Structure 1
Amino acid sequence: MTQDSVIYWEEGGQACSAIWHSENGIVPHKKVVIGDDLLTADDAYHLACEGTAILWRGDFQNARQLLQALVRRVDKPSKKSKRAGKRVDKAGDTSAQKTAVDIFNQHRLIQSQRARILGMLLIECNSEHTVSLRRAPDVSLACREAYGVVSEPYAVSLRELLGVISAHEWRKNGVPVLADSEGEPVFVHPHYGVFSPIRGEYIELVCNTPLPKQMEQESTAFDIGAGTGVLSIILAMRDVQHIVATELDERALVCAKENIGRLHLESQIEVVKANLFPPGKASLIVCNPPWLPARPSSTLEHAVYDPSSQMLKGFLSGLKDHLALHGEGWLILSDLAEYLGLRTRDELLSWIENAGLVVLGRVDTKPKHPKSDEESDLLHFARAAEITSLWRLGSQ
């Protein structure tokens, strides 16, 4: 335990401390005060805005209500949000009051400030991952799944703790991703910190796109950056005989292995730790990289943000060397980055060409997620126009 990973406060005339835990990479708060059921939402909001964290000692359910009150104060409608309805072209129409990149950066700044304020309400857990507050739920299993075994008490933001609880429910109940041959739903159980396959359009693309003819000769596939293992599972359900799923993230490796084991697909799918490609070649190589070329602000954002398109470029540059003769690479990618001015279509096509690849075809679909209909969202102009594509790539 170092000074940089500890928060300090006074309580009952005594100097106190606890290990600070933040999956979002928030540094330990310098100023911490005790809060309880007598604290008003307005006072809590003012403390949070000025950078003072509140370690909660009151009723747990009251803390949840206080957090909801803080959300309402942070999310007051702003006149600036009306600019979200302005259309910006893919190339970035500078005739608009702000360019697409400006709006994207503004959106990220707002989200960062929002997270900072809402993360100021803290909860202390003991070394058994239990919360000693009135009406506190049993969070021990959820926290153990997310954080592992700990030896000392620690403090965490209530907002993160509620996310851990929610992730536990996803992991317990699972997410339906497709139906088996008898019409019964097949579930994938995402772990905390592993991207949940709730956007079904890219799953449908992999379910419905015809497999390469090379599969008739050699039924092998690689799943690059497997996450929960959902794409490997889909390929196995489509009777691909041997699939190698690769991952670097430890949580994702455990998650993929567990999901594959639940479905008794170990004989078809091998999960290995690798940076992008495993050794050898395959008739089909699939990859669903992060869609936005921007720097993630936390470990939890790595599934969404890919700095300088590093994973995308790495997949494209290494694909040719790992494709079997007449094999195909399937790149699943949204064009949201193009509408936000973060990447152009010409750039993507040049990376494909420079990697010695050709586009064999492309299958497009419209996203169905709720954000595409939220006109108050600053990024609505891009989300409403977004297309998700499966690019079929082959060697030149």
Structure 2
Amino acid sequence: MAILEWHEGGVAHVARWRSESGWPAPKKVVVADDTMNADTAYRLALDGTALLWRGDFQNARQLLQALVRRVEHKGERARRAKASKVKAAPASPTEAFHRHRLQQLQRARTLAMLLIPFGADHAIPLRRAPDARLACLEAYGVAGEPYVASLRELLGVIGAHEWRRKGVHIPALDERIHPWYGVFSPVRGEYVELVAQAPLPDGAKVGPRLAFDIGAGTGVLSAVLARRGLRVLATDMDARALGCARENISRLGLVPQVDIIEADLFPEGRAPLVVCNPPWLPGKPSSAIEYAIYDPDSRMLRGFLDGLATHLEPGGEGWLILSDLAEHLGLRTREQLLGWIAAAGLEVAARHDTRPVHGKASDADDPLHAARSKEVTSLWRLRAA
């Protein structure tokens, strides 16, 4: 268990340190309140000194917003300085991606320096603090003892609670899916529509009509497959994802059709249809939440491909849902992907493509716009060769 240590009023204090981003407990901590100005707070945060807040909660939120403005202003100045170098060659998509990730990491680290105390019941002992006990209980479980976490993380927890409460409308289901904190929200509906519209393989139209959903997440694809008349066996390794998927399947009244089990990739046996929507970018996640976006060494993608043939019924299909953003960023080539497919004893029966419609795909100011503007999301229909 990580411990945060600090001195307050000449007395040494300790508390449990909590960080879903995996940040270590800050080594340097000062107590801060409403008298601290934003410039001082920014200098301390840049120096790696955490600010344990003892003032008004709403003032802490305003201070965080002031820190965000300073971080963004610094980033804008750096971009202008680089643009002013006439002879500087434009960054390649890969360089732009890694630079963007580093900037985002540095930004997150700086903004995480503003800390909030919590009681053993998740209550926040500050003036005008919101009642975030339910949101924290959903995200963290039972605390059992006081702890400290960053204000930025708390705001993420509160935001996730609202997503979980309201849900995300899924047109393919005409229902709402309720994501949990730390489970990837199905806000990019184009991949859900691909699964809803692709023609089922012949083996999934007769007999047991079974499908495997590998990496179930919120359970949205399991629900789509169940609504298409299939019995679904869904797997995941993450405890939050398993709980989230079970809750969503129950909400939708699909428990008789969908079984959700803890497993690393495949369950036992074979199915005429095996579906997988792995993280789309190869890379190292910087937090637990980023495991839904980054696939270290393409482990899940390659594991799915390598094991697919042995889990398909004769004539069955594996549906791989994958964006080609990694290709446009220079993180993976199409030749590599096709090579992995062939090496796994598979062949491409068909591919269904769609364009993403999320805001960043058309945002010319996005640092990765050159790659995002070309992105295509595909459902690869794979068969044993």
Report the TM-score when normalising by structure 1: 0.93
Higher RCO structure (Cα 8 Å, ≥6 apart): 1
> Are 2:42 and 1:52 aligned?
no
- The 5 Å alignment of 1:186-197 reads 186-197=175-186
Match among 11, 16, 22 for residue 13 of structure 2: 16
* Structure 2 equivalent of residue 355 of structure 1: 344
* Structure 2 equivalent of residue 346 of structure 1: 335
* Structure 2 equivalent of residue 276 of structure 1: 265
* Structure 2 equivalent of residue 177 of structure 1: 170
**Aligned partner of 2:61: which letter?**
R
* Structure 1 equivalent of residue 61 of structure 2: 64
The answer as to whether partners of 1:130 and 1:139 remain within 8 angstroms in 2 is yes
Partners of 2:128 and 2:360 lie apart in 1 by: 34
Partners of 1:105 and 1:179 lie apart in 2 by: 35
> Percent identity over the alignment?
58
The answer as to whether partners of 1:334 and 1:388 remain within 8 angstroms in 2 is yes
What is the CA RMSD across the aligned residues, in angstroms? 1.7
> Are 2:155 and 1:162 aligned?
yes
Segment drifting more, 369-378 vs 228-237: 369-378
> Are 2:102 and 1:109 aligned?
yes
Structure 1: runs of 5 or more not aligned = 86-94
The answer as to whether partners of 1:84 and 1:375 remain within 8 angstroms in 2 is no
* Structure 2 equivalent of residue 385 of structure 1: 374
Partners of 2:77 and 2:21 lie apart in 1 by: 29
> Are 2:143 and 1:145 aligned?
no
Q: For each residue in 1:177-202, what CA deviation from the matched residue of structure 2 results, as whole angstroms up to 9, or x when unmatched?
A: 1255xxxx311111111111111111
Structure 2: runs of 5 or more not aligned = none
The answer as to whether partners of 1:367 and 1:387 remain within 8 angstroms in 2 is yes
Q: For each residue in 1:274-316, what CA deviation from the matched residue of structure 2 results, as whole angstroms up to 9, or x when unmatched?
A: 1100011111111000011001111110000001111000000
* Residue 344 to residue 179, structure 1, CA distance change in 2 (3 Å): closer
Segment drifting more, 367-376 vs 307-316: 367-376
Partners of 1:32 and 1:356 lie apart in 2 by: 56
The answer as to whether partners of 1:142 and 1:165 remain within 8 angstroms in 2 is yes
Aligned residue for 1:78, secondary structure, equals helix
**Aligned partner of 2:129: which letter?**
A
Residue 84 (structure 1) shift: 11
* Structure 2 equivalent of residue 200 of structure 1: 189
Q: For each residue in 1:41-83, what CA deviation from the matched residue of structure 2 results, as whole angstroms up to 9, or x when unmatched?
A: 1111111011110011111111111111111111125266579
* Residue 283 to residue 110, structure 1, CA distance change in 2 (3 Å): same
Residue 40 (structure 1) shift: 0.9
Residue 7 (structure 1) shift: 1.2
> Are 2:247 and 1:254 aligned?
no
Report the TM-score when normalising by structure 2: 0.95
> Are 2:92 and 1:99 aligned?
yes
* Structure 2 equivalent of residue 37 of structure 1: 34
Partners of 2:121 and 2:301 lie apart in 1 by: 41
* Structure 1 equivalent of residue 212 of structure 2: 222
The answer as to whether partners of 1:84 and 1:377 remain within 8 angstroms in 2 is no
The answer as to whether partners of 1:329 and 1:392 remain within 8 angstroms in 2 is yes
The answer as to whether partners of 1:81 and 1:377 remain within 8 angstroms in 2 is no
How many residues get paired? 379
The answer as to whether partners of 2:246 and 2:260 remain within 8 angstroms in 1 is yes
